[in-house]
Amino acid sequence: GRERLLASFETVNGHFRSLFARLYGGGRAHLTLTEADDPLNSGLEIMASPPGKRLQSLSLLSGGEQALTAIALLFAVFLTNPAPICILDEVDAPLDDSNVDRFCTLVEDIAEETGTRFLIVTHHRLTMARMDRLYGVTMAERGVSQLVSVDLRAAEAMRETA
């Protein structure tokens, strides 16, 4: 139990460092166990230094920086045992356009490396534009959902009507 957790910690930490740099276009980050000699009861601390900024605990970063760092952690764990499917519900909500761009690039790369199929719910125009295909969900009849294939222009219009 203890050995396995320490081993997976090292693997996840390795993925996390490289994913952080890919999502931020630079910078450094790492994970630490608050109680390295009692990993099964330890806490998981996240130390991150976005490009050009000092190393800080996660709590001192901005809202978008915290979200991007948490995304890196999630994918770091995911990559230790990639699944055939990955489902993301509005994870790009707090990200600005340049972070969304790098997020989409990462997701494209993972899809290519692992063959994972992604289902991504988003309100972001940039994310929509990077998808291979789009489904729109509508409630033309109130309270009743309908699913429909859409192209990018229809999807952009769909963000607005409610």
Ligand X SMILES: Nc1ncnc2c1ncn2[C@@H]1O[C@H](COP(=O)(O)OP(=O)(O)OP(=O)(O)O)[C@@H](O)[C@H]1O
42-71 residues in contact with Mg ion (CB under 5 A) are: 62-63
Nearer to its own copies, 16 or 24 (CB): 24
Count of residues engaged in binding other proteins, rule: CB under 8 A: 95
Question: Least Å distance between CB 160 and ligand X?
Answer: 13
Phi and psi at residue 82, to the nearest 5°: -60, 135
Nearer to its own copies, 33 or 126 (CB): 126
Cα 160 to Cα 43: distance, rounded to the nearest angstrom? 43
| By the rule CB under 6 A, 57 interacts with ligand X | no
Regarding 54 and contact with its own copies (CB under 8 A), the answer is yes
Query: Between β-strands 44-49 and 85-89, what pairing exists: parallel, antiparallel or unpaired?
Result: unpaired
From Mg ion, other proteins, ligand X, none, which one binds at residue 55 (CB under 5 to 8 Å depending on kind)?
none
| Surface-to-core class of residue 107, CB atoms within 10 Å of its CB (0-12 exposed, 13-18 middle, 19+ buried) | buried
Binder of its own copies out of 90, 109, 113, 151 (CB under 8 A) = 90
CA distance 151 to 96: 23
Pairing type for strands 85-89 and 146-150 reads unpaired
R_g over Cα of the chain: 18
Give me the residues that bind ligand X (CB under 6 A), please: 50, 53, 56, 60-65, 137, 143
Give me the residues that bind Mg ion (CB under 5 A), please: 62-63
